[in-house]
Amino acid sequence: MIALIVPAGVEVADATGPLPGEALLPEEEVLVARAVGKRRAEFTTVRTCARIALGRLGLPPAPLLSGPKREPLWPAGVVGSITHCDGYRAAAVARASEVAAIGIDAEPHDPLPAGILDRVTLPAERAHLADLPPGVHWDRLLFSAKESVYKTWFPLTRRWLGFEEAALLLAPGPRPERGTFTADLLVDTPPVVGGRPVRTLRGRYAVSGGLLGTAITLAAE
């Protein structure tokens, strides 16, 4: 699903369950030594996806460790993003010379749990959701898009970005299951890429097979 919404030059590997021969590298084992079985399974499959995607860039297998905010630490010269939810795991990678940052997210295509929407959206966004056509759980899709925004933002700034600091607009295509979105960053100091401040992020989404996915790919130039 994620491969449908990223441009050429971004390599994606995904899975709907455990992959044949999947395994953790010794450096990764330490990170889940005390994890419950479900967490360990997700961690293992998504790391295996990351190594498959890196291999498609022509790079050797490498451990994918975690930073202080649990962000993935990619090999030098690589940018990437990972996601997992029930029934789906994925990794997307690209060369840093071509792409400044990637953010991907996958979610079940279900409504958000009660009480969550008001916590993760602005009033204007809630009004926008009410105007969208039926057939898609737009509240969950907007939440996913904000997750992709944060995953794009953090590697560039190393700073927190609250849900209220990005204003999203969803743009369904002729079929509402595919479309695009924009996110205006409501911050005083936006990230700078290629010498220019980035005030708006643009992404794509897809809904398929009981899941939805969002992705942002920010070019290096």
Measured in degrees and rounded to the nearest 5, phi and psi for residue 12 equal -125, 140
Separation between Cα atoms, residue 74 and residue 63, nearest integer Å:
8
- Domain residue limits at 50: 2-219
Measured in degrees and rounded to the nearest 5, phi and psi for residue 13 equal -130, 135
Mean residue pLDDT of the chain comes to: 96
User: Predicted confidence band at 164 (pLDDT cuts at 50, 70, 90)?
Assistant: very high
Number of domains in the chain: 1
Contacts of 29 (CB under 8 A, 6+ apart): none
Separation between Cα atoms, residue 87 and residue 162, nearest integer Å:
27
The string of pLDDT tens digits covering residues 113-149 is 999 999 999 999 999 999 999 999 999 999 999 999 9
Q: 142: closest CA among 58, 203, 59, 67?
A: 203
